[in-house]
Structure 1
Amino acid sequence: MIKKIRVDQLKVGMFVHDFNCSWIDHPFLTNRVSISNDAQLEKIAGAGLRELYIDTDRGLDVEDAPTAEQVEAVIESELQDLARAPSRNRLRVTLSEEMAQAVQVKNRAYRIVRDAMRDVRLGRAVELDQVEPVVQEITESLLRNQGALIGLLRIKSKDDYTFLHSVTVCTLVVAFCRSAGLDDDTMHQAGLGGLLHDVGKALVPDEILNKPGRLTEEEFAIIKRHPKDGYDILLRSGSVGEIPLDITLHHHERMDGSGYTKKLPGERISTLTQMAALVDVYDALTSDRCYHKAISAAEALRKIFEWSKNEFNPQMVQAFMHCVGIYPVGTLVRLQSGRLGVVVEPHETDLLKPKVNVFFSTRSNTYIRPEQVDLSRPFGMGGGDKILSHESPEKWRVDPLKFMSLH
């Protein structure tokens, strides 16, 4: 049986099933470990972990600890309550109408980040007059239709992750700021911070940055220098505002003080940097890396919601979920009817009832004629169905992003 316990309940003889954190935040080679000595306990406590999951079939038990199913049920209930709230997002054009423009914006932003990283490696300054227009293009695409660019940016290979991660963080930070009703200048500066937040990684050797296995302590120490390196690079570039500088320096800090580089407590982390830090983790969880298999956007949001008790501001996590939706655009979902579909547009007030393009039957295991279903409408009016779960495209061997547009 899988149970969730506090770290201070962990004892020698227990079996850790899941450290309940991002892979880089715990000090072991794998996510499942048999606890055989006190040194391991000290190592876990020293990593700043608060809660984790144990497997009682493979180690000692904790009688009063909740099971993984009980934890999941509580989270699901809380998400159901959270799902109904007004949204600030309004679509100016359809997903299909924006898609071609969004492709151009994505490709241009990718090239700008790649070139900026190359310049830094060659000892040159970041050219802000090249970078800033891209932030504006991203903002304009989001204003026309938020789902198009965000959906496209879910397509990453492990080879182009470093560059597209920066583009995605910029895009999601701008969307988050827009959803929060922040002014245009603040939104632009936060987006610039998102685009440049990892510029310090240009100084990290490729063999460390793209290492397929667990980093050694020495390698991790090099990785942890990138926020300060990035901050110094931007200072030398001149004319970089306080918001991008702060995001670059502090995007790995956490609310409980367990982050790096300065282990700042939550009250000393600016709101915009907290937003960027949350987005940074969300995109990392949902992206394939050489050392990490991506999880679905819906699953990542549930994990971040669970972690918000310690690592993130709970109200901010809820606001982000309202921004991108509990089932973000591009998510593959299974409906009560047995059909698979891709989410193409969130509902304005009910995050559990988006518009979905259905295209596959799980009952016959075959493709069906694609059509759009509005889950907020009753049966006979283009609706009458509901989401049962998010699904893995690999499991069904389908590419949901091919069906984001029906034209």
Structure 2
Amino acid sequence: MLDKSATLDESIVNQTFNHLDGITLKSSDTNILHVICEHAQTKLMPTSLLGFDIRVSSIADKIPLEANSIIIDVDLNNTDTLAKLAAFRKNAPSRCKQIFAITKGNLQEELQARTLGGRKTIYRPLGDSALAQVIEELRALSGMPVSATKKAVNTAAKTLEHTFARFGANQPVDLGDVASTGEEIANTIDGIGVNEWLSTVRAYHQTTFQHILIVTGLACSFASSIGMRRVDIEKLTIAGLLHDIGKVDIPAEILDKPGKLTPEEFDIVRTHPRAGYRFLAKQEGISEDVLDAILHHHEFLDGSGYPDGLAHDQIRDLTRILTVCDIMGALLERRSYKEPFTVAQSLAILLQMARKGKLEKVLVHALGKALENNVNSILEKPDEALIALAPLYLSPAEMP
């Protein structure tokens, strides 16, 4: 098993270049998007998306005059805010493209945005999807090619669609296709970083595929940051892509239910690891480590997980890693019953679960390093309400 005394302090190389369609371009004013929003929103914005650096600041801060493109999502009824925006308009260079986020159907906000110099309006909520739409337009105006990240995400989604369809038809999956897709994801994340991968996935995929692509991206980043062997990275990415294949037969009204699951519905959800394992175990070419991760990615070290209630040394290393990435993915993604948590909030929840004996703390810290966050600065006792919003990852006795 993993040595608790081992140091996982591999340095994370800061991403100072944007990867665009196979070409590495140095960050410049033309591929920086500034976002001005209320203070509470700043931590919810992505740091990079579709080859653009996202520079986020609060309306309380100085508005950057050097910006070529700026999205403003603030309270247009606040007199101090309006005065600040009016002053900025007087001093802003003519090249600055101001885009205002407004409430759909609110004519007063629309007029206010135009008065303040807005060249375009978009609708709230402002997040990955809305930012992606703006960036695609900016890329088109600048003559940039389609983002390589978007291409990789869509290719991976097509592989998942094909793979899930094979499961539904009770036909063997194309393991070669799955393996090559995992390799492409790993190579893409090596080039642009995991943060841009996560933002792009959230912008373009809102189904079960979103979760799988996020988890696989996290697993790739984790594996790379701790220097895992190539063969183990391949196993982990394949396990990430296939770990939820057993959800194909679970009704959408249960998977996408906006509220608390009933005990009967939760029992149905708990069938997916074994269903996926039984299907994949029938075909040759899948390693035992991958099959074990698919079957046991909801097991906890304290024996409170499912389907077999394994504990401690009964849970393999690869499975432990996938479990941490799986929970992190669920917390970071937008679901029907919750908005996405920030990385800091998500790590705080994982650390809380580690303290309860469910997860291996060294793995949580390693994932925090892979996400370029100082986990030591994260509050180790988050609001219990946060933990209650991750019901699929708690034992039935802890269900809210």
Scaled by the length of structure 1, the TM-score of the pair is 0.56
Percent of aligned pairs sharing the same letter: 27
Q: CA deviation at 1:253?
A: 0.4
1:107 aligns with 2:154: yes
Please report the RMSD computed on the Cα atoms of aligned residues, expressed in angstroms.
2.4
Which whole-Å CA distance do the structure 1 matches of 2:329 and 2:9 have between them?
Answer: 24
- Give 1:176's match in structure 2, choosing from 199, 211, 222: 222
SS at match of 2:336: coil
* Number of residue pairs the alignment of both structures matches: 246
Flag the structure with higher helix content.
2
Which whole-Å CA distance do the structure 2 matches of 1:174 and 1:91 have between them?
Answer: 17
The match for 1:300 is 346
Which whole-Å CA distance do the structure 2 matches of 1:318 and 1:266 have between them?
Answer: 18
CA pair 288-110 structure 1, distance change in 2 beyond 3 A: same
CA pair 104-154 structure 1, distance change in 2 beyond 3 A: closer
Q: For structure 1, list consecutive stretches of 5 or more residues without a partner in the other structure.
A: 1-83, 328-349, 353-407
The match for 1:10 is none
Contact persistence 1:106–1:149 (CA under 8 A) = no
Q: CA deviation at 1:93?
A: 7.2
The match for 1:244 is 290
SS at match of 1:321: helix
The match for 2:17 is 94
1:144 aligns with 2:181: no
CA pair 148-317 structure 1, distance change in 2 beyond 3 A: closer
Which whole-Å CA distance do the structure 1 matches of 2:196 and 2:8 have between them?
Answer: 24
1:161 aligns with 2:207: yes
CA pair 93-268 structure 1, distance change in 2 beyond 3 A: same
The match for 2:175 is 128
- Give 2:312's match in structure 1, choosing from 266, 272, 276: 266
Which whole-Å CA distance do the structure 2 matches of 1:85 and 1:260 have between them?
Answer: 29
Q: CA deviation at 1:104?
A: 1.0
Q: CA deviation at 1:148?
A: 5.4
- AA aligned to 1:297 is V
Contact persistence 1:196–1:248 (CA under 8 A) = yes
CA pair 178-274 structure 1, distance change in 2 beyond 3 A: same
Q: For structure 2, list consecutive stretches of 5 or more residues without a partner in the other structure.
A: 1-6, 25-50, 52-146, 378-400
CA pair 146-208 structure 1, distance change in 2 beyond 3 A: same
- AA aligned to 2:349 is K
CA pair 351-117 structure 1, distance change in 2 beyond 3 A: same
1:321 aligns with 2:368: yes
- Give 2:267's match in structure 1, choosing from 199, 202, 221: 221
- AA aligned to 1:104 is K
- AA aligned to 2:322 is A
Contact persistence 2:19–2:148 (CA under 8 A) = no
CA pair 296-161 structure 1, distance change in 2 beyond 3 A: farther
CA pair 85-263 structure 1, distance change in 2 beyond 3 A: closer
Scaled by the length of structure 2, the TM-score of the pair is 0.57
Which whole-Å CA distance do the structure 1 matches of 2:155 and 2:232 have between them?
Answer: 23
Q: CA deviation at 1:277?
A: 0.4
- AA aligned to 2:169 is L
SS at match of 1:95: strand
Q: CA deviation at 1:166?
A: 0.9
- AA aligned to 1:165 is H
- AA aligned to 2:259 is G
Contact persistence 2:10–2:226 (CA under 8 A) = no
CA pair 105-149 structure 1, distance change in 2 beyond 3 A: farther
